[in-house]
Structure 1
Amino acid sequence: MIDGYKELTPVIYGENAIKYLYTEQKKAEGEICFLLHWHDRMELTYVTGGTLRFVTEGEEFLVSAGELAVAGPGQMHGGFAVSEKVCYHTVMFDVERFYNGTAASEKYLRSLGNGELTFVEKIAGKEVSGLLERLVGLLAGRDNGKDSKSSLAAIGTLYEILGCLIEYGRSKSSAKVSPDSGFGQILTYVNHHYTEKLSPAALSAQFGYHEAYFCRRFRELTGITFSEYVRALRMEYAQKLLKESEDEVGTVAWKCGYPDGSYFTREFRKMYGFTPTQFRRMTR
């Protein structure tokens, strides 16, 4: 597993066994909704508007309204906009919390909790979508404090969904692409040096790969090109600096690896639809 992609932000469950988020984003086609990452919990991404390109384990597929993408524990995944507006519900939970000592739990949930199964296709159908609609409704009611019984009902519904998901998972040993330790080192390096001058030619030579293989393998593992990945990291850092510092835009550009402030502004606008100065005004 590639440590450079491990999500470091912990999920705070509080009194609940299930974490729930609703996201509505306006994005340009191909823009990142969430960067490629992995974690030890299970994650369900249920799309209710627009279309998302879901990238996982070296494969990708489109997920549209009423369809589900699943990432098991330890499974790398990322999402990219296909339509101008994308709406999706994210449900996260630790599978181990749902072990209950029964034979069914031991037989089916263990394989999910141990990360033995991976999911490399979208899941659709009235049964699954109906259960998900019920689940997100219960979780929204729970979080809004409207229904004190929603938490228990949501857990029961999640058990039903897990029962449906088992048939879609496949053994990780049969996955087409598995990250190797060499690329793990590369990604860790890029994640720590993305503000510096980086290129596929230099990195492939540094880590002992042919450049053509390096570029192909990088896209297989991340779903995006090397330059797109570096740009995404730089732009995330730029947002942080614009929100939290008093640095001039030119200084922010330099700190993010762009010696040309005008080029940085063009890249920022291309990615987000507004200039760094406009972004700063919007977030203060």
Structure 2
Amino acid sequence: MTGDALHKLDVGVGSLGEFRRRTRNPILVRRTAAIRTLQELSLRNDRDAYGSAATRQALSSALLMQCIGEVIAGKTEPGTSPREHGMALVADLEAFLTRHADQDIPLDTLEERFGISRRHMTRLFRENTGRSIGEFQQQVRYENARRLLAETDLPVGEVAFRVGFESGAALSRAMRRIGGHSPSELRAGVARSVKS
């Protein structure tokens, strides 16, 4: 948001004095359902659609107003430090990656979506989780595959495709590396536990 847009908001909505007073130091605004929805909508990739630039501008303004409203209402995280901000960002990254685990998401896409450099993002992620973004994606895919293999009779290749692996062989390699067993061994173990 530009200074001009903030000035228009100040004139149109009312004084931003209280907001400025409360934001002299860095703050972290809670991600309410409204804020999360506005963020998702403003970051959609339908840029070629008619009126998409105007729509994004309106959504960005609505997001800013929602955040300002949360700050003025005192709904911020107390004592926010850079570490807490980093932890919140990593939690958002984990949630996004979990929702989109079946897709290959380049770091450039994450960089654009979360507004943080690749280097800083990967460093923060490793510091807060003890693993890389790629390792996290593989773990989520592994857990999703385990669930599907245990709960369905889908062929291994179909399970692999649904959770984001290129092939059944790629899924088998990942399962051996992460969990120490193959898809068929997992299914055999589930079948034995059901019989007993």
* Bin of the TM-score, shorter chain as denominator length: 0.5 to 0.7
1:246 aligns with 2:153: yes
Structure 2 residue 96 is the aligned partner of structure 1 residue 189: yes
Output the CA distance in 2 between the equivalents of 1:220 and 1:190: 17
The equivalent residue for 1:211 is: 118
CA contact (8 A) 1:249 1:261 kept: yes
- Distance between the aligned counterparts of 1:175 and 1:185, measured in 2? 17
TM-score (norm 2): 0.52
Cα displacement (A) at 1:203: 0.8
**Shift of the alpha carbon at 1:231?**
0.9
Does the 8 A contact of 1:195 with 1:257 survive in 2?
yes
Count of equivalent residues:
116
How big is each residue's C-alpha offset from its partner over 1:98-125, in whole Å with a ceiling of 9 and x where there is no partner?
xxxxxxxxxxxxxxxxxxxxxxxxxxxx
Residue 179 of structure 1: how far off its partner (Å): 3.8
1:177 aligned onto 2:83: yes
- The alignment yields a C-alpha RMSD, in angstroms, of 2.6
Partner of 2:19: none
Structure 1: how far apart are the matches of 2:94 and 2:106? 13
Paired residue type of 1:205: E
> Aligned to 2:103, what secondary structure does the other structure show?
coil
Structure 1: which 5+ runs fail to align?
4-171
Contact between 1:201 and 1:211, CA under 8 Å: does it hold in 2?
Answer: yes
- Structure 1 CA distance, aligned partners of 2:115 and 2:85? 16
Superposition pairs of residues 88-237 of structure 1, within 5 angstroms: 177-180=83-86, 181-237=88-144
Q: Identity of paired residues, percent?
A: 24
Does the alignment pair 1:276 with 2:186?
no
Distance in 1, matches of 2:93 and 2:118, equals: 13
Q: State the one-letter code of the partner of 2:105.
A: L
The structure with more helix, counted as a fraction of residues: 2
Does the 8 Å contact 1:253/1:260 carry over to 2?
Answer: yes
Amino acid at match of 1:188: A
Contact 1:243–1:280 (CA under 8 A) maintained in structure 2: yes
- Residue 173 of structure 1 and its aligned partner are, at CA, apart by 5.9
In structure 2, which of residues 160, 163, 171 is the aligned counterpart of residue 264 of structure 1? 171
Are the aligned partners of 1:234 and 1:256 in contact in 2 as well (CA < 8 Å)? yes
Unaligned runs of 5+ in 2: 1-27, 32-77, 192-196
Q: CA deviation at 1:185?
A: 3.0
- SS of the aligned residue for 1:283 comes to helix
